[in-house]
């Protein structure tokens, strides 16, 4: 029961004089008559009392003698919109009743905004599809040689949900891995050994509150789509949603790189975090001084045609991108030929960029084959017999070109196939035990929002 209810309520056994004193003590010029069980029986205003006294009534009579029994009341959970409409029609105060008819609130035109409710934060980050330039985004290369990567994002996401707690406990749930972690506080998490990637992200952010964190993905582990970076980006964005000073998109990508590459130790480049954070088609340039994301604006016809001509093929073979990047790093440091291959890949990336923005998609598709042939020369671990068989079968069935996404060794192939050959290519790779994945391009990067906890 609110303070206003107590001030404006009188008992059915009290007198009209008591009602007058109650009315005059408040600004609303009204009193509510309740029974012993607090059920609202009637309403008394100055006008009700005046009419009663003019008819010869006495002030020592029970208040029930002059109260209005035909009053308007509302349920205590009445939406604000309905209350505002009633006030706009001339009401100054409305009694709010619970389901048993008890007076529990008095609504006025000065009613306060709803109290701040607990909220949860959600975020989703898309995976990337890299067309060319992968490997050149390793710091060991672009620290001395300007590099570029051409990529886009697709509508497959990592989803993060962050629910703040009233205590200091931290609970982390990874739906994809079927894994849970529990910590009594952030202090315990920071000193824990063998932390998961999600726990490592938390250790980088160092939130000052307890929470439950949930993560799930639309794609399999080891897909070559930059899934771990999408998961990292989504998690950081969920925490960002609850900050007063939001991190910029560049800062989110940099924090994701820090957590995934430097702190958790997954070897790799920078492109995945930027692609997932910014979303859409991008030419991403990497230099010693600064990394820059250049959005690509495609005509709708070019975008739609490219989407129609790409086939995403799951080989069913998982891969360890971190180990492959470690091997590449070792070979970059050991052999000058690796630098030449990466420089050739960057040059090809810029050529593909020109083909893409001009809508010269047949040439773009053929360049995917060039990119794949270059990629295979980076390391003997990038491809093997079964992957070569799948690729050659797709080309024989009509694909103009294609490449394995990610570091190599498994995951998804991306093929460029003109419409008249699509069915044959899809049937061919399926006969080899592969699965084709439908997708749509995603123009948005990581997205976060907050909702009241229901």
The catalytic residue positions are 272
In the beta sheet, which residues pair with residue 435?
314
The answer to whether residues 446 and 234 touch, using CB atoms and an 8 Å cutoff, is yes
> What is the separation of C-alpha 199 from the centre of its chain, rounded to a whole number of angstroms?
18
Q: Where are the alpha helices (DSSP H) in 103-192?
A: 139-142, 186-191
The answer to whether residues 28 and 93 touch, using CB atoms and an 8 Å cutoff, is yes
> What is the separation of C-alpha 190 from the centre of its chain, rounded to a whole number of angstroms?
25
Q: In whole angstroms, how far apart are CA 76 and each of 23, 92, 95, 449?
A: 22, 16, 8, 29
Instruction: Round to whole Å and give the CA distance between 366 and 416.
Output: 8
Instruction: Round to whole Å and give the CA distance between 335 and 374.
Output: 15
Its sign, for the CA torsion 281, 283, 284, 289, is negative
Task: At 95, give phi and psi (nearest 5°).
Answer: -75, 135
Collapsing DSSP states into helix, strand and coil, what is residue 308? Answer: helix
435-437: strand order across its sheet: 401-404, 412-416, 310-314, 435-437
Instruction: Round to whole Å and give the CA distance between 437 and 425.
Output: 13
Name the residue among 165, 129, 131 with its Cα closest to residue 148. 131
Task: At 406, give phi and psi (nearest 5°).
Answer: 85, -160
Q: What angle do CA 422, 427, 429 make, to 5 degrees?
A: 100
Instruction: Round to whole Å and give the CA distance between 423 and 425.
Output: 6
Collapsing DSSP states into helix, strand and coil, what is residue 59? Answer: coil
């Amino acid at each position: 029961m609110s303070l206003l209810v107590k001030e404006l309520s009188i008992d059915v056994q009290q007198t009209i004089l008591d009602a007058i004193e109650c009315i005059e003590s408040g600004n609303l010029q009204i009193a509510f008559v309740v029974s012993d069980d607090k059920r609202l029986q009637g309403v008394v205003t100055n006008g009700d009392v005046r009419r009663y006294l003019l008819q010869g009534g006495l002030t020592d009579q029970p208040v029930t003698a002059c109260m209005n029994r035909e009053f308007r009341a509302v349920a205590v959970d009445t939406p604000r919109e309905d209350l505002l409409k009633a006030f706009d029609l001339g009401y100054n105060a409305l009694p709010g009743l619970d389901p048993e008819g008890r007076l529990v609130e008095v609504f006025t035109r000065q009613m306060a905004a709803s109290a701040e409710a607990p909220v949860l934060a959600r975020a989703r980050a898309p995976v990337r599809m890299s067309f060319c330039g992968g490997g050149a985004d390793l710091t060991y290369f672009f620290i001395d040689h300007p590099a570029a990567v051409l990529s886009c994002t697709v509508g497959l996401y990592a989803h993060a949900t962050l629910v703040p707690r009233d205590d200091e406990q931290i609970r982390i749930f990874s739906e994809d891995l079927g894994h849970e972690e529990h910590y009594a506080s952030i202090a315990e998490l920071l000193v824990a050994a063998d932390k998961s990637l999600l726990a490592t992200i938390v250790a980088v952010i160092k939130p000052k509150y307890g929470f439950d964190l949930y993560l799930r993905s639309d794609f399999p582990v080891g897909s070559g789509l930059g899934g771990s970076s999408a998961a990292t980006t989504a998690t950081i964005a969920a925490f960002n949603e609850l900050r007063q000073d939001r991190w910029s998109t560049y800062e989110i990508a940099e924090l994701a790189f820090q957590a995934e590459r430097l702190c958790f130790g997954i070897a790799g480049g920078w492109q995945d975090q930027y692609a997932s954070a910014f979303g859409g088609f991008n030419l991403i340039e990497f230099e010693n001084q600064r990394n820059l994301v250049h959005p690509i604006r495609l005509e709708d016809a070019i975008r739609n045609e490219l989407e129609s001509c790409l086939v995403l093929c799951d080989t069913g073979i998982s891969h360890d991108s971190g180990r492959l990047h470690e091997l590449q790093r070792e070979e970059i440091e050991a052999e000058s030929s690796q630098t030449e291959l990466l420089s050739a890949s960057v040059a090809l990336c810029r050529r593909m960029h020109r083909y893409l923005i001009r809508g010269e998609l047949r040439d773009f598709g053929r360049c995917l084959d060039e990119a794949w042939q270059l990629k295979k020369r980076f390391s003997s671990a990038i491809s093997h017999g079964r992957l070569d068989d799948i690729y050659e079968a797709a080309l024989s069935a009509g694909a103009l070109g294609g490449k394995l996404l990610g570091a190599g060794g498994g995951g998804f192939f991306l093929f460029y196939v003109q419409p008249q050959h699509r069915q044959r290519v899809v049937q061919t790779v399926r006969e080899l035990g592969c699965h084709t994945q439908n997708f749509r391009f995603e123009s948005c990067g990581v997205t976060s929002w907050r909702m009241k906890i229901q």
